[in-house]
Amino acid sequence: MIAPAAVHHDGLSDTLLTVDDATFVRGDTVILDHVSLTVRRAERWALIGPNGAGKSTLISLLAATAHPSRGTVDVLGYRLGRVDMRELRAHVGLVTSRHPLTSALDAMSVVLTGATGTLELVPRWPPTPEQTSRARALLTQFGLDPDRGLRWSTMSQGERGRTLIARALMPDPAVLLLDEATTGLDVAAREQLLTTLDGLSRSHPALGTVTVTHHFEELPASTTHAMLLREGRVVASGDAGAVLTSAAVSEAFAHPIEITRTNGRWTARAASAG
């Protein structure tokens, strides 16, 4: 059994996630090719690259839902292949726009499933008063009224995104992974979600985060580090300001792209011909 002290903030090594020379092969296709990454406490990483670059596959390794074909992955100090991955996943928050819930659970129930790590509420499982209080507080923190009776089947995409972040934070994870969480959002909903993510640097200062996207306007201003991927290989990795340059991004996307940053937010546009 994974000891809580090994995965919670106090006494935890500054290193949350380590990918060392990892390669991932599916069939005859190399999806990740000798990738290395280290995520430490309080770091806010972005994984960026075109479609097919290997971003979601890398997230699946970090989330302990897949093993590398070669190389090693350590999650919260535990090496994949030497630990019960189901138990380890309980300490990693994962948010994806493809959350497969289809029933009409209300927002409180969706968040409470984060305590059990299940898609639906566990039958005859009563949450403790502390768990109920935490679920209410998280929903409120992200601008959702826990008494409104908002249901998954009728939530907007933005409301779903904020509810899923609250769900992922329910077990107080040391790291939060966001796999294209802003996909399908209109501008207002996207900005609300990004404000929520930026707020985590204040409400959860030790939390490490990794955000997958291929749209620069979807990067939170609080992003500290970035990795650019192309065809499964690392183009650049490190401090966000040093990595997210026009030259490096143009190489990653194989197209001339001009990157600008204003008030902490990035934008990308095709570089002018002249």
Structure confidence by residue, pLDDT tens digits, 100-125: 888 899 999 999 999 988 889 899 99
Task: Please state the φ and ψ torsions of residue 95, each to the nearest 5 degrees.
Answer: -120, 125
CA pair distance 212, 49, nearest whole angstrom: 9
Domain definitions of the chain by residue range = 1-91+173-238, 102-172
Identity at 115, one-letter amino acid code: A
Percentage of the chain beyond pLDDT 90 is: 66
Across the range 26-31, mean pLDDT stands at 95
Question: Each residue of 223-243: pLDDT tens digit?
Answer: 999 999 999 999 999 999 999
Provide CATH code, domain 1-91+173-238.
3.40.50.300
pLDDT at residue number 157: 86
pLDDT at residue number 102: 86
Q: What is the pTM assigned to this prediction?
A: 0.89
pLDDT at residue number 24: 98
CA pair distance 163, 176, nearest whole angstrom: 14
Question: Each residue of 177-195: pLDDT tens digit?
Answer: 999 888 778 888 888 889 8
pLDDT at residue number 86: 81
Q: What is the number of other CB atoms lying within 10 angstroms of the CB of residue 274?
A: 3
Is the pLDDT assigned to residue 12 strictly greater than 80? no
Is the pLDDT assigned to residue 5 strictly greater than 50? no
The token pair that represents 139 in the structure block: 């929903």
